[in-house]
Amino acid sequence: MTTGTLNTLAAAALGAVLATGAVAEAESDDPIKLTINEWTGQVLTTHIAGELLGKMGYNVEYVTAGYFPQMTALQDNTVTAALEIWTTNIADAYDIAIGSGNVTDIGSLGLVPLETWFYPAHVEELCPGLPDWEALKNCPQVFASAETIPQGRLVDYPADWGTSNRDRLIGLELPFTSIPAGSEGALVAEIKTAFTRETPLLVMFYSPHWIFSEFDLRAVTLPPHEEGCTDDPSVGVNPNATYDCDFKRGDVRKVAWAGMAEKWPGAHKLLGALEISNDQQIDLINMVDQQGKSVDDAVAHWLAENETTWQGWIDAAK
Amino acid sequence: MAEAAHTPNRRALIGFATAAALAVACLMLRSDLPWLKAYPAQWTLAFSAWINLAIGALLEIASPLFRALSTFLDWPMRMIRDGLQAIPWLVLTAGFVAVALRAGGLPLALFSAVACVYIQVSGYWAESLNSLALVAVAFPLSVLAGLLIGIAMNKSRRLAAFLTPMLDFMQTAPAFAYLVPLIVLFGFGPVVGLIASAIYAIPPMARNTRLGLDMVSPELHEVAAMTGCSPVKRFWLVEMPTALPQLLVGLNQTIMAVLSMVVFAAIIGGFEDIGWEVLRSMRRAQFGESLMAGIIITLIAIMLDRITRGFALKARTHSKPAMPLGRYAGFAAAAMALAALASLILPEGAGSGFGMSERINAAVADLSVAVGTTTDALKNNAIYFFLLPIRIGLEQTISPFTWGFAFSPALKTGYWIALALLASAVALRKGPLAATITLLAGLFLYTGTSGMPWPATIALASAIGYWAGGARIAALWAGTLAMILLTGLWTPAMFSVYICLSAILICVALGGAIGVLAAQSDAVSALIRPILDLLQTIPPFVLLIPVVMFFQVGDFSAFLAIISYAIAPMIRYTEGGLRAVPPTKIEAGLTAGCTPMQLLFLVKLPTAQRQIALGINQSIMYGLAMLAVAALVGSRGLGQEVYVALGKADAGLGIMAGCAIAAIAICVDRTFVSALERG
C-alpha cells in the first residue's frame, strides 16, 4: 500500500518534471478530452494515451461517454478523440460521423479483434469434433433451446451491432438459429451462466475481452475467409451460397475531431502513432480484472515496459 | 332505456362479426395473395428519411438557440455538482439528516442517516452526488413546467385537447427513441439527460395539476367571486390550496419519474453518475454491483419524496413547528460544523462495499445452478404452451419437438370442427356476440399475432375500439395500425404486441390474485409493499442480468422482465379497489348468505371493477414502457428497432419506433377509458 502510494507519487513527480521539460510551444492549453467507454480495454488504452499526452505537456481530461453518443460529441469538439472504435460493431454511426467532415480517422489502434463463434471448453465432450465447424452439423440438439428446437441456438451479437450470422448459417448449411442477445451484458451473462451451470453454449463474441481471463472460451474454426465470399456464391466451401467462410478480421480505429490537427498538432500526431497489440492489452486487462490492480498501476506497468516505443512516438510527434 | 343498453352490444356484434368474416376470408386467401400475410415493403413510405430531413432543417435554423439553452442548463448543474463534491460527506450527511428531521421527524431522519451511510460505504458517494445534481435541476424544472402546463390545461379546454396526446407521447415513447435527435440538437453531455428526464417527468406533474384544479368545486368559485376575489387572488387563495393534495401526488410522481430516468440519461455519458455505474456493471453482467448501485437510486427517491411531502404537508396544515426556522438552522449548522471537524479527524476515503456484491454474485450463481432443471422446465413449458401459441399460433407451434405430435390435416380439421361446435354452443347459451368472440379467439389461437393477416388484425382492433367507445376509438385504432403498416414497422410491432399481450395476461391473472390476497390479509399486504416499492423504483436494467442467468437470452426473459415491472400497478390497484369496497355492501352480501368465495366474486370484485380496470390499464402502459428495456435481453420488436436506430444514428427510425409504441399505448388507454366511462 505504502510502496504503491510512493510509486504513484514518484511517477507523478517524474511526470511533472518531464512535463515542464516538454511543454508544447504555441499549442493550445485547452484540455484534450478523451472519451472513456464502459469496457476495461478501452479505459486502459485511453489512459495510456492520456499519460503520454501529459508527458508532452498537454492538459488531458477524461469524459465518460456512451459508445454511440460519442460519435456525435466528436463532431463539435465536445470530446476530442475516441481511441477504440471497433469497426464491426459501430454500424453506420462511424460512417455518418466521418461523412460529416467534422471527424477524422487517425489510424488503426493495432488491435486485431478476433470475432467469431465461441463455446465453453466443456462442450467439446458433448459435441465431438469441435473446434472444427463441421462438428456443429451433427449436434444442433446439444445447443437447442425451447425457442429454436429442433435447431441449435447461436447467441448472436445485439441487432444494433450488425451481424451477418443469419446468412452465414445458411451459407454453411448449419441447422442453427441466430438469437440476438440484445446487449453486451446479456452476452456476458450467457457466457458466465454456461460456465457456472456447465451448460452448452454457442455464442458470437470477440477478443480481446476481459472474459477470456476468467473463462476457457474456445473459438470455432470456420472455413478460412476468402475475398469475395460474402458476395460471390462460387467463392467458399458452398458453391451455392454467400457467407460460406470465416469472418473477415475487423479493425479497431482511432478517431478525432477534425480540428485537432490544427489546434494540437503534436497531440494529434501522438494519438495517430499510438498502437497497442492484442497480447499487451490482454495482459493489462488481466491485471485489472483478474488481479484487482488499479487502472493507473496497469498503465504505469505498460509505460515502464514499453519506454522505447512511446519515447519514439513522442519524439516523432514533437 | 332498454335500447340504450343494447347499443354497445349491437355495435360490438357488428364490429366483431365483420372482423371474424374478414379474418376467415383472409385466411382462406392467404396462400394465393401473399401480401395479406406480409405487407409488401414497396408499399411503405420513407417516413424516417422525412423526419431526418426535418431535424436537419430544424438544426440549421435553431441550432444556436438549442446550444444556448444547453449552456444555460449545464451551468447550474455543474455548479451544484462541484458545490456538493467540495463538501465532506459527513457534513452533507449531517445536513441531509437535519433537513429530514425537520420534514418528517425522527424516523425519516434515521432513514436518511442510514441511506447516506450506505451510499458512502458502498463506495458510490461521488457518483450519487452527480446524479443528485442532475435531479436538483431536472426536478424543479419539471415541476415548474408541469404546473404551467397543468394550469393552462385547466383554463383552456382547447389547449387541453391539444396537450393531452402530447403528454401521452412524452410519457410512453421510450427515451432511447429520441436520444439521437436530442444529442444532435443540444450537443453531447449531461444536459441531454436532463432534457430527457424533464420530458418524462413533466406529464405527471401537468396531469395532477390539472386534475387538482378541475376538482375545485363550482360552489367554491362562486363563493370566491361573491367575496370579491380578483382572479389572481382567487387562484392563489382558493384554487391552489384546494388542489394541493393532488399537487402533492404530482410532486411524488415527478420525483419518481426523474429518478427513473437517471439510468437512461447515463447512456449518453459525460457525467460520471450512479446511472453510469449501473450501466457499467450491467454491461459486465455483475448483478451484485448493479444491485448495490441501483438501490441507491431507490434510496434517493424515497428520501426526496418523503422530504418534499413532509414539507408540503406542514405548509398545508399550517402547523407551527416546535422550533423557529432560524434557531433550527443554527442547530443544523452547528451539527454540520461538528461533522466537518469529525471528517478532519476521520480518514477520508470511499468505502468498498465490504465485498457485499461478490457475495450476492456468488449466491445468485449458486442458485442458478441449484434450480437449473426447474427453471429450464418452467421456461420450456411456458414457451411451448403459452408464448409460442400467442406468437405463431397453434398452426406453427404444434410439432413433434414441442407438443410431441404433428398438427396433421386431420387434427386441423378436428380443431375447426371443435371450434364451430363450441361457437354454436356458446351462441345458444349466451347469444351471438359471445359466439363471435369465441370464434375470433379460436381464429387467433390458430394463427397467433404474427400469422394473423394484417387486414384482419386491423379489423379486430377496430372492432374492440368500436365496442368500447364507438366510431372515434375504432378510427383511432385503424389509423394507428395503418400508420404502422405504412412505416414498415408492422412485423416488429406485432412482435411487441405479442410479448406485451402475453405478459399482461399473466400480470392480470397473477397480479390480480396477489392483489386479492393482499386485500384479505394485512400480513401479505405488509410483506409485498416494500417489494413493490423496490420493483417500481429500482432501475429495470438491474433485474435483467439475473433473469438472463436463470432463463437465458430470448423471449421468455423479455417476458419476465416486462412482468416484473408491469405487475406492480395491477397488484396495487386490485388491493386498493377491494379494500375500498364499502362495508355496507359486504354486510349486505353476508346477510344474503354469501360464502367467502361468493362474497369475493359476486360483491367485492364487481364493486372494485373500475379500479381493477385502471390497474390493467396501468399494467399495459408499464409493459409498453418496458419494451425498450426488454430488448436488451434479446426481445425483438419495436424495442429492438429503437436500438438499431441508435446504432445507425438514424433519428427518424428511432422516433418512428418510439411513436409506434406511444401510439399503441394511447389507443389502449383511450379504449379502457371509454369502456369505463360507459360503465
Q: Which of A38, A147, A150 sits opposite B283 (nearest CB)?
A: A38
The stretch A13-42 carries a mean pLDDT of: 68
**Residue B491 near residue B452 (C-beta atoms within 8 A):** no
Residue A180 pairs in a beta bridge with: A156
Residues A36 and A47: their CA atoms lie apart, in Å, by 9
The stretch B510-516 carries a mean pLDDT of: 95
State the CATH class of domain A25-111+251-317.
alpha beta
Residue in B with minimal Cα distance to A163: B644
B668 assigned to some structural domain: yes
* CA–CA min distance B387, chain A (Å): 10
B437 assigned to some structural domain: no
Q: Left (φ > 0), alpha (ψ -120 to 50) or beta: where does B236 sit?
A: alpha
A15-24, A120-129, B9-18, B273-282: least confident range: A15-24
A102-106, B55-59, B422-426: least confident range: B55-59
pLDDT of residue B432: 87
Do the chains contact at A185 and B282, CB–CB below 8 Å? yes
Do the chains contact at A91 and B279, CB–CB below 8 Å? no
Contacts of B634 in chain A (CB under 8 A): 179-182, 186
Residue B422 confidence (pLDDT) above 90? yes
A23-32, A198-207, A265-274, B537-546: least confident range: A23-32
Say whether A61 sits in a helix, a strand or coil. strand
**Residue B458 near residue B478 (C-beta atoms within 8 A):** yes
Do the chains contact at B268 and A66, CB–CB below 8 Å? yes
Do the chains contact at B552 and A145, CB–CB below 8 Å? yes
pLDDT interval class at B320 (50, 70, 90): low
Task: Please give the residue range of the domain that contains residue B543.
Answer: 468-679
Residues A78 and A98: their CA atoms lie apart, in Å, by 16
Contacts of B380 in chain A (CB under 8 A): 146
B474 assigned to some structural domain: yes
pLDDT digits (tens, 9 = 90+) for A175-210: 999 998 888 889 999 999 999 999 999 999 988 888
Residues B210 and B217: their CA atoms lie apart, in Å, by 13
What strands, in cross-sheet order, belong to the sheet with A217-219? Answer: A176-180, A152-156, A203-207, A114-120, A217-219
Tell me the pLDDT of chain B averaged across its residues.
87
* Strand pairing class (A176-180; A152-156): parallel
The long-range contacts involving B90-93, CB below 8 angstroms and separated by at least 24 positions, are B90/B339, B90/B340, B90/B342, B90/B343, B90/B346, B91/B336, B91/B339, B91/B340, B91/B343, B92/B116, B92/B129, B93/B117, B93/B120, B93/B339
The stretch B111-140 carries a mean pLDDT of: 92
Considering B32-41, B312-321, B656-665, the range whose residues carry the highest mean pLDDT is: B656-665
pLDDT interval class at B7 (50, 70, 90): low
pLDDT interval class at A91 (50, 70, 90): low
**Domain holding B515: CATH number?**
1.10.3720.10
Test mutation, A35, A46, A72, A90, chain B, max B CBs within 10 A: A72
Test mutation, B284, B287, B291, B638, chain A, max A CBs within 10 A: B284
Do the chains contact at B553 and A199, CB–CB below 8 Å? no
* CA–CA min distance A140, chain B (Å): 13
Do the chains contact at A147 and B635, CB–CB below 8 Å? no
Q: How many structural domains is chain B composed of?
A: 2
Q: Which of A38, A69, A190 sits opposite B553 (nearest CB)?
A: A190
* CA–CA min distance B147, chain A (Å): 32
Do the chains contact at A199 and B372, CB–CB below 8 Å? yes
A15-19, A127-131, A268-272, B74-78: least confident range: A15-19
Domain map of chain A by residue range?
25-111+251-317, 114-219
Tell me the pLDDT of chain A averaged across its residues.
86
Residue B339 confidence (pLDDT) above 60? yes
Residue A21 confidence (pLDDT) above 60? no
B415 assigned to some structural domain: no
Do the chains contact at B644 and A196, CB–CB below 8 Å? no
Do the chains contact at A186 and B634, CB–CB below 8 Å? yes
Do the chains contact at B284 and A188, CB–CB below 8 Å? yes
Tell me whether the CATH fold assigned to A25-111+251-317 matches the one assigned to A114-219: yes
Range A43-56 burial, b when 16+ CB lie within 10 A, else e? bbbbbbbbbbbbbb
Predicted TM-score (pTM) above 0.80: yes
- Fold observed for domain A114-219: D-Maltodextrin-Binding Protein; domain 2 (3.40.190)
Test mutation, B185, B286, B553, B632, chain A, max A CBs within 10 A: B553
B350-364, B400-414, B460-474, B574-588: least confident range: B350-364
Sign of CA dihedral B21, B23, B26, B31: negative
* Strand pairing class (A114-120; A176-180): unpaired
Residue A16 confidence (pLDDT) above 60? no
